[in-house]
Amino acid sequence: MRSLIDILDLTTEEIDELIATAEDIIANPADYADCCRGKKLATLFYEPSTRTRLSFEAAMIELGGSVIGFSEAQSSSAAKGESIADTARTISCYADIIAMRHPKEGAPYVASLNASIPVINAGDGGHNHPTQTLTDLLTIKREKGAFGGITVGLCGDLKFGRTVHSLISAMSRYDGVRFVLISPEELALPSYIKRDVLEKKGIPYKQTSSLEEAMPELDILYMTRVQRERFFNEEDYLRLKDSYILDTKKLEGAKADLCIMHPLPRVNEIAVSVDRDPRACYFKQVLNGKYIRMALIRKLLKEAGTI
């Protein structure tokens, strides 16, 4: 059974196809309005979410399907001690596809080993978030036209930010990508990603703690929230939470065609005044997330022979 646990489960050709389908859905939504009629998506969310869960649900409804699920662990049998494996077997009796978010790294993978329907990782702890990456890639494609030959600045919590980890994995497969990693030392990108992805593939990157210094060379600026829920103590979070606040002044040295992205939710990292700047793309990203999830649900259900 084909699931999506890591963004590298998809080839670059498959990602191109998903992007092409999403663009076709945007242009011709009526052609897709019935393709999942009678099918059910189960959203199993053991961690808070607004965009990911609701975009999955909106996606399935716009494909003509329906949705069941829970949005907090406490309202499911996890609160009674049920294992992920048993939950996955159970949901396979009710639904055709699962989207799962969990605070533990690897939980959606365990679910995929036990489910008889496709499982989509909707975020596992500080590890991965492949459907946010598909969203980000669709946004970059629509804003920049291609993935190669661009300098991507990733700013904020690169240690715990799962969207950053998946995006680096995905973009490292394209030629001519450079990364600028902008973070305080304590929130630097984990060394396993630097070693196993960037260095192994010879991808040019540099690390800095200064957003202002990095700004002029960036084509994409990917801001992130400091991930409070992954900290071991509140004091460290309070000290680091406002490390970077993007405002109109900091954008003075930026390229005219910079694309400012953020997976959201935003806390303080981007001043609201930046929202009026035509380079702000984060709400476009939100909408792209629904279309690419429509393309993904359709693909996995087709491969499973369900539709």
Q: Cβ 131 to ligand NCD, closest distance in Å?
A: 8
Give the bridge partners for 178, in sequence order: 151
108 scored as a contact of ligand NCD (CB under 6 A) = no
Q: DSSP H helical segments within 28-83, as ranges? A: 51-62
Instruction: Report the candidate in 263, 189, 112, 161 with the shortest Cα–Cα distance to residue 121.
Output: 112
Q: Kindly provide the residue ranges of all beta strands, DSSP E only, lying in 169-230, ordered along the sequence.
A: 178-182, 205-208, 220-223
Q: Cβ 132 to ligand NCD, closest distance in Å?
A: 5
Binding mask 255-274 for ligand NCD (x = CB under 6 A): --------xxx---------
162 scored as a contact of ligand NCD (CB under 6 A) = yes
Using CA atoms, how far apart are residues 11 and 19, in angstroms rounded to an integer?
Answer: 12
129 scored as a contact of ligand NCD (CB under 6 A) = yes
Place of tokens 């291609």: 146
Using CA atoms, how far apart are residues 5 and 121, in angstroms rounded to an integer?
Answer: 5
Instruction: Report the candidate in 186, 178, 185, 246 with the shortest Cα–Cα distance to residue 211.
Output: 246
Q: Which of 39, 40, 101, 241 is catalytic?
A: 101
Q: Cβ 187 to ligand NCD, closest distance in Å?
A: 13
Contact with ligand NCD (CB under 6 A) among 43, 52, 121, 139: 52
User: In 3-state terms, what secondary structure has residue 185?
Assistant: helix
132 scored as a contact of ligand NCD (CB under 6 A) = yes
225 scored as a contact of ligand NCD (CB under 6 A) = yes
Q: Cβ 52 to ligand NCD, closest distance in Å?
A: 4
Contact with ligand NCD (CB under 6 A) among 65, 69, 108, 123: 123
Does the annotation mark 208 as catalytic?
no
Q: Cβ 159 to ligand NCD, closest distance in Å?
A: 12
- Helix, strand, coil % over all residues of the chain, rounded to 5: 45, 15, 35
Instruction: Report the candidate in 285, 278, 176, 169 with the shortest Cα–Cα distance to residue 223.
Output: 285
Q: Which of 21, 52, 131, 139 is catalytic?
A: 52
Contacts of residue 269, defined as CB under 8 A and 6 or more positions apart, other chains included, come to 155, 156, 223, 224, 225, 226, 244, 245, 246, 262
Of 87 and 163, the one with the shorter C-beta distance to ligand NCD is 163
Does the annotation mark 80 as catalytic?
yes
Does the annotation mark 225 as catalytic?
no
Does the annotation mark 52 as catalytic?
yes
Q: Which of 102, 129, 142, 262 is catalytic?
A: 129
Of 6 and 307, the one with the shorter C-beta distance to ligand NCD is 6
Catalytic positions are 51-52, 80, 101, 129
Binding stretches for ligand NCD (CB under 6 A):
51-52, 123, 129, 132, 162-163, 225, 263-265
